[in-house]
Amino acid sequence: MILQMRCISLTREQFALAAGADEKWIENSARQLGCQLARTPAEARWLGLVRLLARDFEIPIARAGKLAELSLSHRPATTELTLVQSAGSVVALVVNLARYHSTFIASLSAALHHATPRRRGRPATELSGRAHDPVADAAAYGVDVSLLRESLRRTPAELLQSLDEDVAFLADIRPVENCELSAAGRSP
């Protein structure tokens, strides 16, 4: 399982969702930590723990990176791990690794299944086993397609004749420029 997780590469969106941070935080933190991210699940696990330590305990990013690396170097079966403690063991920072790993796996699964990468090119049209009919699609959309169907039934000669009739009609209705009403400034 761990070997498989190291082989896959995540998109920026998937990586951010798995780590529990937004993309900009990840870019800025990687720059502060001086590392080039390959966006693998192992890196998302590490950066997610860095995010928790930095956000919830206000630990500086560089120190949180070292603590996260120390935490994740232990076996996944380790339940609780004490990272640092004060003199006299009054205060300690304890990481529940089993819980973190479980939470991370759930986040990774959600990222892989809900943040799928965009496909290149135009979206595929679903033909659902029938021939594609744009006129039928327009009718389903609510367009009155009776004129479209009538035009599609005509031959090219009939279409040209109709266009010639339209041109003749437009020539007949053009306004006359030397009309007496327009010269006098009166409206009809």
List, for residues 128-137, the tens digit of each pLDDT value: 556 677 878 8
Give the integer Cα–Cα distance in Å for 95 and 65.
14
Parallel/antiparallel/unpaired status of strands 92-96 and 80-85: antiparallel
**Is 50 exceeded by the pLDDT of residue 123?**
yes
Q: Which of 56-70, 101-115, 120-134 has the lowest mean pLDDT?
A: 120-134
**Is 50 exceeded by the pLDDT of residue 166?**
yes
Tokens of 57: 């305990």
**Is 50 exceeded by the pLDDT of residue 3?**
no
Give the integer Cα–Cα distance in Å for 42 and 61.
18
Interval 12-64: pLDDT, tens: 889 999 999 999 999 999 999 998 888 899 999 999 999 999 999 899 999 99
pLDDT at 117: 63
Do residues 29 and 47 lie in contact, with contact meaning Cβ atoms separated by under 8 Å? yes
pTM of the model: 0.58
Q: At what angle do helices 41-57 and 97-114 cross, to 10 degrees?
A: 120
Do residues 79 and 62 lie in contact, with contact meaning Cβ atoms separated by under 8 Å? no
Radius of gyration in angstroms for the set of CA atoms belonging to the chain, rounded to a whole number: 35
Give the integer Cα–Cα distance in Å for 48 and 15.
10
Q: Which of 30-44, 126-140, 144-158, 164-178 has the lowest mean pLDDT?
A: 126-140
More confident position, 132 or 107:
107
Do residues 92 and 82 lie in contact, with contact meaning Cβ atoms separated by under 8 Å? yes
